[in-house]
Amino acid sequence: MEATSLRSSQWFARDGKDGFIYRAWLKKQGIPAHELEGKPVIGICNTWSELTPCNSHFRELAESVKRGVIEAGGYPLEFPVMSLGETLIKPTAMLYRNLVSMDVEESVRANPLDGVVLLCGCDKTTPALVMGACSVDLPTIVVSGGSMLTGRHMGRSIGTSDIWRFSEELRSGKMTTEELALAEAGMCRSDGHCAVMGTASTMACMVEALGLSLPQNAAIPAPDAARKVLAHLSGMEIVKMVREDRRLSHILTRQAFENAIMVNAAIGGSTNFVVHLLAIAGRIGVDVTLADIDAWSAEIPLLANLQPSGLYFMEDLYYAGGLPAVMNALLTRLHKDCLTANGKTIGDNYRHATGYNPEVITTLEAPFNNISGIVVLKGNICEEGAVIKPSAATPRLMRHSGPAVVFEDIDDYKRRIDDPALDVDENSILVLKNVGPKGYPGMPEVGNMGLPAKLLAKGVTDMVRISDGRMSGTGFGTVVLHVSPEAAAGGTLAILRDGDIITLDVANRTLHADLSPEEIAARKAAWQPAHPVAARGYVQLYQQHVEQAHLGADLDFLKGGSGSQVTRDSH
Ligand code: FES
Ligand code: MG
């Protein structure tokens, strides 16, 4: 590509006052003139933050990317965007995913960048950055931060999925507070994001399956030297992508999304995949629906034995061959012609990938579980859909009828769940309202609500749970999530009452309340929204514009893109 056709030349190759202003202030960072004379300028979009512990090593990672960019003849400029730490942000990092995507989109478009490297780690940082970048559509590559080393506790391996177990064991008296403190000390032993196939790992696999990263991006642990090597190579690759004008829209085709859905099923990926993939598809303008997620998951068995659907950890996945070995095992099903970031196809990249441990990565002929993926449910409780992850559910409960025990919101749930007088048994179905996008607001990860203490004491380990919220990708159980329309938008969920008989039938993909249409209509006519819209600020904007979960919970006015062109100058 000729220097003058670089996008950055619209800043740096200018004469007179404008060129002077664009160049002179950059030079105060010690940049010699020749660096701005026709080299591809590569933005490194960094979500480093000490408030995002999973991304706290990203300044180092950015240095590796820069070395690669420089080696390939580009010029790197690192910039920050709002970062989202899953564990610290209240009420939920999901409330801000769309806000970060706006930050990324406007930062990329407004600046003299020819290509972008997205440094993504903790759950929401990946979809937020990819969504924003899609709405600009420059050459873009993703470098994930990598997972933590496997946690250790009293002689055994632990990961984030154990938190939910520990919590129930503590409540039922099987674990002491001293043991819990030991577990807390051994959970997070290194740089990186959650060490199981939770949402962060799911997102890292999603970008690799979509073709947005180099092969092996998904599973190299954060502290492994190979992670820095991958960052360096990605820095080199983005310069090539700019020279060859390989943009997101060339990679993110309908077939690329189908590949990502199939890979997500094979790895037992998080249910959060659904809302993030749909939102990304909406930005790049590819038509992907909830029905596509069900359809393309349906025939794919579980090929990776990873918590929470299986036994192992992300570190084990890497040592067993990483995502390339999984994609190789799945290759007969994948669209092999899809283009990826390195200019090669999925077939080229993964045809020769090898698996090294059949305990962790298996074949289509001998899957760990024939049930996998994400099943989309429909019925009078969820006219637009709801999701369940069968591989993380209890087989016995996949067809179950029982009376509803209804919590009006999260405060009601917290107040009453452990009340010995609560009228609940193991056949009851727990229903939690008002934890959807508009309702909470932000659709938090509370859908795998803990079971009543008196049932835990009886040894009950799972019950059917239904909500309009999400669940941590590390969570498990027979948990129906993302009910759409949500309660706060007047969905049928809002009018369910204690004792209503609900039937979940995963095989037939239905979720149904035993209520006549007349009864539902009468209750809806009397329904009043329980929670007001925020009085001001971003939260008000979010509540007024967020779409329902079955569409990806993006803001309605952010759908699509505005390209990379900016015609007016700043002075
Ligand atoms: Fe950051 Fe799990 S908390 S990935
Ligand atoms: Mg999470």
pLDDT tens readout for residues 269-282: 999 999 999 999 99
Residue 548: pLDDT over 70: yes
Q: Which residues surround ligand 2, an ion (CB under 5 A)?
A: 86, 123, 199, 472
Q: How far is the CA of 52 from the centre of ligand 2 (A)?
A: 12
Closest CA to 117 of 61, 73, 71: 61
- Residue 54 Cβ inside 6 Å of ligand 1? The answer reads yes
- Residue 86 Cβ inside 6 Å of ligand 1? The answer reads yes
Per-residue confidence (pLDDT) for residue 384, from 0 to 100: 98
The model's pTM is 0.97
Task: List CB contacts of 355: < 8 A, sequence separation 6 or more.
Answer: 320, 321, 325, 326, 328, 329, 361, 362
Per-residue confidence (pLDDT) for residue 3, from 0 to 100: 54
Distance CA 481, CA 466 (A): 6
Burial 445-456 (b: 16+ CB within 10 A, else e): bbbbbbbbbbbb
Ligand nearest to the CA of 56: 1
Using the Cα atoms of residue 89, residue 94, residue 100 and residue 104 in order, give the sign of their dihedral: positive
SS3 124: coil
Reported as a single tens digit per residue, the pLDDT across 47-78 is 999 999 999 999 999 999 999 999 999 999 99
Task: List CB contacts of 304: < 8 A, sequence separation 6 or more.
Answer: 197, 266, 267, 268, 310, 317, 326, 360, 361, 362, 368
Ligand nearest to the CA of 471: 2
Mean pLDDT of 444-456: 94
* Structure-block tokens of residue 387: 């999701």
Reported as a single tens digit per residue, the pLDDT across 474-494 is 888 999 999 999 999 999 999
**Strand extents, DSSP E, 457-536:** 465-467, 479-484, 501-505, 510-513
Distance CA 226, CA 232 (A): 10
Cα torsion through 199, 201, 207, 210, rounded to 10: -90
Residue 184: pLDDT over 70: yes
First-residue to last-residue Cα distance in the chain: 29
Ligand nearest to the CA of 270: 2
- Residue 281 Cβ inside 6 Å of ligand 1? The answer reads no
Mean pLDDT of 461-481: 94
Ligand 1 atom 1, closest CA: 122
Q: How far is the CA of 512 from the centre of ligand 1 (A)?
A: 34
Phi-psi region for residue 491, left (φ > 0), alpha (ψ -120 to 50) or beta? beta
* Structure-block tokens of residue 193: 């994001």
Distance CA 286, CA 293 (A): 14
Residue 327: pLDDT over 90: yes
Using the Cα atoms of residue 363, residue 322, residue 283 and residue 568 in order, give the sign of their dihedral: negative
> Do β-strands 140-144 and 115-120 pair in parallel, antiparallel, or remain unpaired?
parallel
Using the Cα atoms of residue 153, residue 156, residue 159 and residue 160 in order, give the sign of their dihedral: negative
Q: How far is the CA of 236 from the centre of ligand 2 (A)?
A: 32
Count CB-CB contacts under 10 A for residue 416: 15
- Residue 124 Cβ inside 6 Å of ligand 1? The answer reads no
Mean pLDDT of 255-267: 98
What one-character DSSP code corresponds to residue 369?
B
Per-residue confidence (pLDDT) for residue 2, from 0 to 100: 52
Which atom number of ligand 1 is nearest to the Cα of residue 472?
Answer: 2
Q: How far is the CA of 445 from the centre of ligand 2 (A)?
A: 7
Q: What are phi and psi of 432, to 5 degrees?
A: -120, 125
Mutate to test the pocket of ligand 1, among 123, 163, 189 (most ligand atoms within 8 A of CB): 123
Mean pLDDT of 547-569: 97
What's the burial of 336, exposed, middle or buried (CB within 10 Å: 0-12/13-18/19+)? middle
Q: How far is the CA of 437 from the centre of ligand 2 (A)?
A: 15
Q: How far is the CA of 3 from the centre of ligand 1 (A)?
A: 41
* Structure-block tokens of residue 527: 């329904």
Mutate to test the pocket of ligand 1, among 194, 205, 472, 474 (most ligand atoms within 8 A of CB): 194
Per-residue confidence (pLDDT) for residue 475, from 0 to 100: 85
What's the burial of 515, exposed, middle or buried (CB within 10 Å: 0-12/13-18/19+)? buried
Distance CA 197, CA 307 (A): 6
Which atom number of ligand 1 is nearest to the Cα of residue 87?
Answer: 3
Reported as a single tens digit per residue, the pLDDT across 357-386 is 999 999 999 999 998 889 999 999 999 999
* Structure-block tokens of residue 37: 């004379």
The number of angstroms, rounded, from the C-alpha of 94 to the middle of its chain's C-alpha atoms is: 10
- Residue 198 Cβ inside 6 Å of ligand 1? The answer reads yes
- Residue 193 Cβ inside 6 Å of ligand 1? The answer reads yes
- Residue 187 Cβ inside 6 Å of ligand 1? The answer reads no
Residue 4: pLDDT over 80: no
Mean pLDDT of 151-162: 93
Compute the mean pLDDT over every residue in the chain, rounded to the nearest whole number: 96
* Structure-block tokens of residue 259: 């590949």
Find the DSSP H helices in 111-160: 125-134
Which atom number of ligand 1 is nearest to the Cα of residue 123?
Answer: 4
Per-residue confidence (pLDDT) for residue 167, from 0 to 100: 87
Q: How far is the CA of 193 from the centre of ligand 1 (A)?
A: 5
Q: How far is the CA of 372 from the centre of ligand 2 (A)?
A: 20
Distance CA 49, CA 88 (A): 12
Residue 101: pLDDT over 70: yes
Residue 419: pLDDT over 90: yes
Distance CA 68, CA 103 (A): 25
- Residue 200 Cβ inside 6 Å of ligand 1? The answer reads yes
Which atom number of ligand 1 is nearest to the Cα of residue 474?
Answer: 2
